[in-house]
Amino acid sequence: MTDLRAADQVTPEIRGRIQDSFDRQGLMAHLGARLSRIEPGRVHIVLPARPEVTQQNGYVHAGATSAIADTAGGYAAYTLFPDDTSVLTVEYKINLLAPAEGDHIEAVGTVLKPGRTLTVCNLEVFGVRDGERKLVATGQQTLICLPKRPDR
């Protein structure tokens, strides 16, 4: 997907639909994740590093890393779906490249190929410390658009 310009920002209605749906996700609330950026075909989710989301060595757990990556990709696709639809993950694969550590981790979901039924997204997760980003995971995901099933 090409770089997004200010003119390509999502409408307030789409932003509200994404935020409302995100706010209903119990897992994201439980993890302490938050949406940090919503653009057409691209969504960022931030997860603060804290003991509750770490594994035994103090790194952010792969389950938490994967969950925010999956969710970022899902909402990236959802920004392009019609209003009366919902989104579900069909499959995803993630490669953990380095221990997830830092002040927080940030997942970025980006639509690679939009479709009427299936959409493919790229997933990236960065460890962020003092503003420096390090790629810690990458993946790909396929999502399905469920027509006439509003996400409410």
Q: Residue 127: its pLDDT value, please?
A: 98
pLDDT tens digits, 84-109: 999 999 999 999 999 999 999 999 99
Q: Residue 152: its pLDDT value, please?
A: 76
Domains of the chain: 6-146 (3.10.129.10)
Query: What CA dihedral angle connects 28, 29, 30 and 34, to 10 degrees?
Result: 60
Sequence-separated (6 or more) residues with CB below 8 Å from residue 143: 73, 74, 77, 87, 88, 89, 90, 118, 119, 120, 121
pTM strictly above 0.95: no
- Average pLDDT in the 119-145 region? 98
Q: Residue 3: its pLDDT value, please?
A: 43
pLDDT exceeds 80 at position 136? yes
